[in-house]
Structure 1
């Protein structure tokens, strides 16, 4: 039996609906921090569990208003992503309210929120080769932090990791489909038109990492683990960078994330395929007070630090981690007539990449040696644009 549960930061109330019903709700991911920058807000819609693509909320009017009279309009810079037109940072003792009007005229508003502290500081990000509780060897990324005033108490840690990818079976040449006839075909080999050997992959933290120091002797974090990477994870193969983000939360924001963490340990989204209930946040509809809205408007203090390291820094002279997939050579047949030639179909459909010429083809083999896209084209796994922050 399927059902939703509405969690309202303390009370639990069952929400009854048809077993096979689906509720289309607005999903808001909004975090305003004390950093002076273009603040970001993501708007999406809920979606049936069997669907994979998240529907984006387009063409909304988004504004954040402060109790000091300030007002910040947001513009849609890409589908579903709204950025403040001007840079700003949340100020102490100012209450901020999020206002949204969707394209269909529905209006939403958040509870007024304010910064819990003026700032937070990560004292140190440390990197250690170690074993986790399951006896797996890898890299632990830990944080030290201390608030001598004892005012912080409620923390959330996120990270964004970026890593270099080098396609192991890359070739400077590519085979392109031109034409195929009944008795002939044309798939010339040309120089590749873009960088496809070295790329940069990016992952964001996938778990809700919250901690309260209430009850601690001091408002201090020591060697607090925010990321553990198995030594066999291919993200460590070459050069790796992590941006560690520390948020100090308001008590009610901490309660929201702590409840969400209890719902699922594998997602940071408020409406995901593995979440067994519906979590109500601090955003509500002004158009229909019976309408459910998912998500949360957060105003938090943020500090962040970036760290770089190479595989050789912690595993000198040791074998590299296995690549993300096993890589092999394929020599698909080019025999047959129109529509039946494996080599032509593979190149036309883009399911493999050219590696080399098959100079001595055996029976059933074609004239090209091919590899899987992940093995010969790094853009399948990441971006070929060097990040602005990247240093070697």
Structure 2
């Protein structure tokens, strides 16, 4: 089964570099970094929240630029202990461990992550507690706006306020879903039937699945952290969590975004702020030539000098979702350009056979022969899924 890794996980797995990094602030203890090359070290991505659910831990090894994804750390024993209970985790996919039972992090309890890898090495995190505050997103909304570079588009904004002034540290993630309508869709399709002596034979049939309307989904592509320590109150107003250029095809029809707000501990905030700084200081976050190794709050019980990457976080989370149409903000205006150019081409013979068998192009119409277009132009499944998401609203 294919395992999808988030952008944050890829950054963490790549940030195994060559210099000392020390992360800290006036209100937190610094994290100690050590000189390291691209070592075969354990990389941990672990977040438990105040949501009552099956919590998740991901374990991997660092990877180089020419590799597609982190190397999954398989067959480990994973658990979380809060002093009175221990929650066991089961590996459900390579490197992905899910708690046997659903549970929610509770205030006042110290949570530790415990890991024993297949080779018998043991690791443990510092004790982390759920932040006292659990501040909700007061408002999530979209506006037609212009960014600092003068580009016009859609801004996604958050308002949040904690009257107790105990939240202070926030991290935002989002997942966006958008309707895709294939601009050169046809109800017909061309199929290869048989190879005869004078060339391949084709047939044109009705399509057997939905290929006109699909739904694409993308997750956040950056680390978004902010604090309110220097503000007069613990309030964020019109905080921009996402900007989408109006030329981006994901805005073309109907768009939805789910924003998750995490109230963090000072230690977690410092870690993610440093991680963001490291990823931005490199020309490519996927490069093996990274500016530093960032140590988190997880350590080896067998060797105090062993490097362990990643962070075990306990956070309070809330979320909101909104929908809007392109017409709501750009009435009567031209749609953004499609994902790619869709130039029809007349094809026949072996050329058409290769196209059909490789599924690189699809049937569009007849015009002095069979005309085809690039697959994404006539089959939306090239860019998304034809299954309507459970949460979708028209």
Q: Does TM, scored on the shorter chain, surpass 0.5?
A: yes
1:57 aligns with 73
Which residue pairs with 1:387 in the alignment?
Answer: 389
The 1-side partners of 2:351 and 2:50 are apart by: 57
**Number of the residue aligned with 1:356:** 365
Q: Map 1:169-188 to 2 at 5 A.
A: 169-180=184-195, 182-188=197-203
Q: Which runs of 5+ in 2 are unaligned?
A: 1-15, 24-29
Matches within 5 A, 1:86-125: 86-125=101-140
Paired position in structure 2 for 1:82: 97
Equivalence for 1:374: 376
2:9 counterpart residue number: none
**Is the 1:34–1:118 contact (alpha carbons within 8 Å) kept by the matching residues of 2?**
no
1:138 maps to 153
Aligned residue for 1:326, secondary structure, equals coil
Distance 1:190 1:58, change over 3 A: farther
Q: For the residues of structure 2 that align with 1:270 and 1:109, how far apart are their CA atoms?
A: 27
In the TM superposition, residue 290 of structure 1 has moved relative to its aligned partner by 3.4
Following the alignment from structure 1 to structure 2, what is the Cα–Cα distance between the partners of residues 72 and 181?
64
Question: Which residue of 2 is the match for residue 338 of structure 1?
Answer: none
Q: CA deviation at 1:109?
A: 1.8
Structure 2: how far apart are the matches of 1:344 and 1:390?
Answer: 38
Give the conservation status (yes or no) of the 8 Å contact 1:6–1:15. Answer: yes
Q: 3-state SS of the aligned residue for 1:379?
A: helix
Superposition deviation, residue 84 in structure 1: 2.0
Give the 3-state SS of the residue equivalent to 1:163 in structure 2.
strand
Equivalent-residue separation in structure 2 for 1:297 and 1:271 (angstroms): 22
**1:70/1:294 Cα in 2 relative to 1: closer, same or farther (>3 Å)?**
same
Q: Which whole-Å CA distance do the structure 1 matches of 2:191 and 2:295 have between them?
A: 51
Higher relative contact order (CA 8 A, sep 6+): 2
Matched with 1:337 is: none
Structure 1: distance between partners of 2:131 and 2:200 = 68
Please state how far the C-alpha of 1:123 moved relative to its aligned partner: 0.9
User: What residue in structure 1 maps to residue 343 of structure 2?
Assistant: 328
Task: Report the CA distance shift for 1:90/1:231 in structure 2 as closer, same or farther (over 3 A).
Answer: same
Compute the displacement of 1:300 (Å): 0.6
Q: 1:323 to 1:34 in 2, by over 3 A?
A: same
Structure-2 residue corresponding to 1:40: 56
Unaligned runs of 5+ in 1: 335-340, 362-367
Name the CA distance, whole Å, in 1 between partners of 2:47 and 2:287: 19
**Is the 8 Å Cα contact of residues 134 and 167 (structure 2) preserved in structure 1?**
no
Distance 1:193 1:79, change over 3 A: farther
Distance 2:382 2:335 in 1: 21
Q: SS of 1:278's equivalent?
A: coil
Bigger Cα displacement from structure 2, 155-164 vs 181-190: 181-190
Render the CA deviation track for 1:5-45: whole Å, top value 9, x for unaligned.
Answer: 3535336756254xxxx422222211111111222222232
Between 256-265 and 43-52, report the one with greater CA deviation: 43-52
Matches of 1:142 and 1:11, distance apart in 2: 32
Distance 1:42 1:14, change over 3 A: closer
User: Which of 3, 15, 19 is matched with 1:5 structurally?
Assistant: 19
Q: CA deviation at 1:3?
A: 4.9
Are positions 1:236 and 2:251 aligned together?
A: yes
Shift of 1:179: 4.1
1:297 aligns with: 312
In the alignment, which residue of structure 1 is the partner of 2:212? 197
Q: Which residue of 2 aligns with 1:365?
A: none
Q: CA deviation at 1:319?
A: 1.0
Which of 45, 49, 66 in structure 1 is aligned with 2:82? Answer: 66
Contact kept, 8 Å, 2:133 with 2:167, in 1: the verdict is no
2: CA distance between counterparts of 1:160 and 1:326? 26
Rounded to whole Å, the distance in 2 between the matches of 1:117 and 1:12 is 26
Q: Write out per-residue CA displacement over residues 327-366 of structure 1, whole angstroms, 9 at most, x where no aligned residue.
A: 11122341xxxxxx211112112221222234x24xxxxx
1:208 match: 223
1:150-165 mapped onto 2 (5 Å cutoff): 150-165=165-180
Residues 197/106 of structure 1: CA separation in 2 closer, same or farther (3 Å cut): farther
Give TM-score scaled by structure 1 length: 0.88
**Preserved CA contact (<8 Å) 2:279 2:285:** no
Paired with 1:289 and 1:12, the residues of 2 have a C-alpha distance of: 12
The answer for the alignment partner of 1:129 in structure 2 is 144
